[in-house]
């Protein structure tokens, strides 16, 4: 009942794009306010950035961070968030029915991004606004000087342009919950014209068109097809969003949800390529999976009619061991599509369905899902290998028969590191794994870590922040180019061979 892999450095799927390890900061709940930004917090610097959170973000290792939304961006005036703080207006945030004080805005975010060592991925408002405001924003961020908006930036203390490369043309505009929802035709035309004009301001930018809010939308795939009919020649990426949760006690299906992620990615690739063929386009679009995570949306029902409060706790899921294993599985799916998925952002970074939780004025700690992300971000480098995998199957109520083993491997020629990332989806049995590595030179097990627990519901809390963390794996053997290891039930496993 074991599983096996054949790996060879010559079987290459794609380079690992470092942007696959992205995250997301939205003006929502306590992600910004009392999350990354809290003037007066004991660890805050002069500009109000929380030092404890910054340290955890650096350890987590995201490469790119999307900002400022999310649904929030569809009603946002970016001008409210720049200039002297005392002059900035407080506004109603219609997306989350919250009070937006605008004490944190574009330049604060850029300061934070610099301190965190991440690339910004900026979204423009195509809900309530359009071509002009997007161009104004781009002129403010990227134009060197001697124009109204670039000089305005300089007068706000940012002498050099921010040079933001990556731009999202709106957010989830197919969704009825979106302020400024549009039909695919309306959005496609607006996105094409906005992208065209933005490229006139700065031809070096990269653009992301909005795909469906999730694959369950009734317009899924036809939305992508219509939007891309309008935007194919202008954009570089099409976005995907997906959130998963465990329904009832069906942990077996939950552990298999990456199968749905795989189908979703494959469907968007097929749709984009179909449009590309119809338009006689040579270029292949790439995918930006710029929102993904476990999110217990069932618990969110009832939190939707919010009153106008500042930084009220919202969707602060406290993740379990099984959630972390599933997050590891999504990272595996993303890596296994690295030939087409170039960008991925776990949503979100702090407090909102996040790997990091904080107390206002108090502590910050790592959730269980922090670990698979940080390990993959640190170790998945070089190239993703095409793996030949053989695994027993198990039955799930939602996805039929699914392989018990879910795995991927990366090989970094520069360091000689071969990394295997593997999930055992069985909640009851250890899964024996053998890997044929004879195509590589001599290797040794340099690192072996396991995230698993007898209690699948165990979580980290402020009082027990280290209840769940990866432990050193045992029993991995390499003999004559063959690796053998046992993967514990419901586990996320990382093996670095060097």
Number of neighbouring beta carbons within 10 Å of residue 69: 26
Pairing of strands 383-385, 3-6: unpaired
State the Cα–Cα distance between residues 2 and 4, nearest whole angstrom: 7
State the Cα–Cα distance between residues 204 and 273, nearest whole angstrom: 24
**Which listed range, 41-49, 64-72, 226-234, 325-333, lies at the site for ligand AHR (CB under 6 A)?**
64-72
201 in Cβ contact with 135 (< 8 Å): yes
Q: Does 172 bind ligand AHR (CB under 6 A)?
A: yes
Spacing of C-alpha 39 from chain mean position: 27
Q: Does 69 bind ligand AHR (CB under 6 A)?
A: yes
Q: How far is the CB of 351 from ligand AHR (least distance, A)?
A: 11
Q: How far is the CB of 350 from ligand AHR (least distance, A)?
A: 12
Number of neighbouring beta carbons within 10 Å of residue 130: 17
Q: Does 194 bind ligand AHR (CB under 6 A)?
A: no
**Which listed range, 68-76, 160-168, 275-283, 368-376, lies at the site for ligand AHR (CB under 6 A)?**
68-76
State the Cα–Cα distance between residues 441 and 290, nearest whole angstrom: 37
97 in Cβ contact with 56 (< 8 Å): no
153 in Cβ contact with 137 (< 8 Å): no
Taking the least distance from each CB to ligand AHR, the nearer of 23 and 329 is 23
Q: How far is the CB of 53 from ligand AHR (least distance, A)?
A: 18
Number of neighbouring beta carbons within 10 Å of residue 204: 8
All residues at 6 or more sequence positions from 299 whose CB lies less than 8 Å from its CB, including other chains = 315, 317
All residues at 6 or more sequence positions from 193 whose CB lies less than 8 Å from its CB, including other chains = 131
Binding mask 404-423 for ligand AHR (x = CB under 6 A): --------------------
Taking the least distance from each CB to ligand AHR, the nearer of 123 and 497 is 123
Q: Does 348 bind ligand AHR (CB under 6 A)?
A: yes
Instruction: Please give the structure tokens belonging to residue 36.
Output: 């990354």
Alpha carbons within 13 A on the beta-carbon side of 407 = 31
- CA angle at 187 for the pair 182 and 190, rounded to the nearest 5°: 130
Q: Does 26 bind ligand AHR (CB under 6 A)?
A: yes
Q: Does 291 bind ligand AHR (CB under 6 A)?
A: yes
**Which listed range, 69-77, 406-414, 461-469, 475-483, lies at the site for ligand AHR (CB under 6 A)?**
69-77
Q: How far is the CB of 369 from ligand AHR (least distance, A)?
A: 14
Q: Give the residue among 324, 297, 326, 343 at the shortest CA–CA distance from 399.
A: 326
Q: Contacts with ligand AHR: how many residues (CB under 6 A)?
A: 11
Q: Does 31 bind ligand AHR (CB under 6 A)?
A: no
Q: How far is the CB of 319 from ligand AHR (least distance, A)?
A: 15
Burial class (CB in 10 A: 0-12, 13-18, 19+), 466: exposed
Taking the least distance from each CB to ligand AHR, the nearer of 71 and 150 is 71
Q: Does 329 bind ligand AHR (CB under 6 A)?
A: no
State the Cα–Cα distance between residues 122 and 144, nearest whole angstrom: 18
Choosing from 71, 150, 246, 408, the residue that interacts with ligand AHR (CB under 6 A) is: 71
Q: Does 253 bind ligand AHR (CB under 6 A)?
A: no
Q: Does 453 bind ligand AHR (CB under 6 A)?
A: no
**Which listed range, 3-11, 67-75, 323-331, 397-405, lies at the site for ligand AHR (CB under 6 A)?**
67-75
Contacts (CB under 6 A) with ligand AHR, residues 207-236: 213
Supply the residues annotated as catalytic.
172, 291
State the Cα–Cα distance between residues 67 and 471, nearest whole angstrom: 34
Taking the least distance from each CB to ligand AHR, the nearer of 172 and 453 is 172
Q: Does 171 bind ligand AHR (CB under 6 A)?
A: yes
Q: Which residues in this chain contact ligand AHR in the complex, by CB under 6 A?
A: 26, 28, 69-71, 171-172, 213, 291, 347-348
């Amino acid at each position: 009942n074991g599983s096996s892999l054949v790996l060879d450095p010559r079987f290459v799927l794609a380079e690992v794009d470092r942007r696959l390890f992205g995250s997301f900061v939205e003006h929502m709940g306590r992600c910004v306010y009392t999350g990354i930004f809290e003037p007066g917090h004991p660890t805050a610097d002069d500009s109000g950035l929380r030092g404890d959170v910054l340290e955890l973000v650096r350890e987590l290792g995201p490469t790119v961070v999307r900002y400022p939304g999310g649904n929030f961006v569809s009603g946002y005036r970016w001008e409210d968030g720049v200039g002297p703080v005392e002059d900035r207006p407080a506004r109603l945030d219609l997306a989350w029915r919250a009070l937006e004080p605008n004490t944190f805005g574009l330049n604060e975010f850029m300061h934070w991004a610099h301190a965190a060592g991440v690339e910004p991925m900026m979204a423009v408002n195509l809900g309530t606004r359009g071509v002009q405001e997007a161009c104004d924003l781009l002129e403010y961020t990227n134009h060197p000087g001697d124009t109204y908006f670039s000089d305005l930036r300089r007068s706000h203390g940012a002498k050099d342009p921010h040079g933001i490369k990556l731009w999202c043309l709106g957010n989830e505009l197919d969704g009825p919950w979106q302020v400024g929802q549009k039909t695919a035709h309306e959005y496609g035309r607006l996105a094409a014209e906005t992208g065209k004009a933005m490229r006139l301001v700065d031809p070096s930018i990269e653009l992301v068109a909005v795909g469906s809010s999730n694959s369950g939308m009734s317009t899924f795939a036809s939305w992508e097809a219509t939007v891309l009919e309008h935007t194919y020649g202008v954009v570089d990426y099409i976005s995907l969003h997906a959130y998963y949760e465990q329904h009832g006690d069906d942990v077996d299906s939950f552990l298999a949800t990456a199968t749905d992620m795989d189908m979703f990615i494959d469907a968007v690739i097929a749709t984009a390529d179909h449009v590309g063929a119809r338009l006689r386009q040579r270029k292949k679009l790439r995918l930006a999976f710029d929102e993904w995570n476990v999110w217990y949306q069932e618990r969110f029902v009832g939190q939707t009619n919010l009153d106008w409060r500042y930084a009220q706790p919202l969707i602060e899921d406290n993740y379990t061991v099984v959630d972390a294993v599933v997050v590891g599985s999504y990272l595996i799916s993303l890596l296994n599509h690295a030939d087409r998925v170039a960008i991925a952002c776990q949503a979100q970074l702090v407090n909102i369905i996040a790997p990091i939780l904080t107390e206002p004025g108090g502590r910050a700690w790592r959730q269980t899902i922090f670990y698979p992300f940080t390990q993959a971000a640190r170790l998945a480098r070089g190239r993703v290998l095409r793996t030949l995998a053989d695994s027993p199957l198990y039955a799930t109520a939602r996805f039929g028969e699914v392989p018990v083993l879910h795995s991927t491997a990366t090989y970094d020629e520069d360091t000689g590191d071969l990394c295997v990332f593997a999930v055992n989806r069985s909640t009851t049995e250890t899964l024996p794994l053998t890997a044929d590595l004879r195509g590589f030179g001599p290797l040794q097990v340099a690192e072996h870590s396991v995230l698993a627990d007898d209690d699948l519901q165990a979580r980290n809390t402020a009082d027990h922040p280290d209840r769940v963390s990866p432990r050193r794996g045992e029993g991995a053997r390499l003999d004559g180019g063959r690796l053998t290891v046992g993967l514990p039930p419901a586990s996320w496993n990382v093996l670095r061979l060097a």
